[in-house]
Amino acid sequence: MKVIHTNNFKETQMVGQNFAREILAAGTQKNAVVLALSGDLGSGKTTFLQGFAKGLGIEEVVNSPTFIVMKRFKIYDLRFKNFYHIDCYRLDNEKDVEFLHFQEIISNPKNIVAIEWPEKIAGILPQNSISITFKHLEENKREIVLQ
């Protein structure tokens, strides 16, 4: 477990960027790398993922896909090919992600998958998901717990 405190959005993005580089350096595993990001609205999840995407070499704008549920970005790396950003905020349960081909996505070792509001689909998350919890401490300060 690693606890990190940030003082502004740029620091939160930098934590995400550095974590992405760690994931890339570690390489692929048997299935997709799955990040489960929990925390209240405004706690820093999307800000972290903006930095994370930058660390993966993605230059496109990364915003939360609240209304469209999922976005896919290409990764130009030898080991990984796709970064999926899934926002489960508007979903009711696991059945709501079936139309996304969720099991196929998380089974592919060439994918990195970030899931906001993972508690909505807790029953189908892989056991080896990396849990990242965000807490809003003060106006710009955040606590990020990586497990």
**DSSP assignments along 38-91, one per residue:** E--TTSSHHHHHHHHHHHTT--S-----TTT-EEEEE--SSS--EEEEEE-TT-
Contact between 64 and 87 (Cβ < 8 Å): yes
Candidates 24, 55, 19; CA nearest to 134 is 19
CA distance 28 to 111: 9
**Percentage of the residues of the chain whose pLDDT score is greater than 70:** 100
**Span 56-81, pLDDT tens digits:** 999 998 987 777 899 999 999 889 99
Does an H or E element contain 3, and which?
strand 2-6
Question: To the nearest whole number, what is the mean pLDDT of the chain?
Answer: 94
84: Cα within 13 Å, side-chain hemisphere: 27
Contact between 42 and 136 (Cβ < 8 Å): yes
Does 3.40.50.300 match the CATH number of domain 2-146?
A: yes
Whole-model pTM: value is 0.94
Domain boundaries, the chain: 2-146
Q: What are phi and psi of 27, to 5 degrees?
A: 85, -175
Residue 59 confidence (pLDDT):
93
**Span 16-34, pLDDT tens digits:** 999 999 999 997 789 999 9
Contact between 13 and 109 (Cβ < 8 Å): no
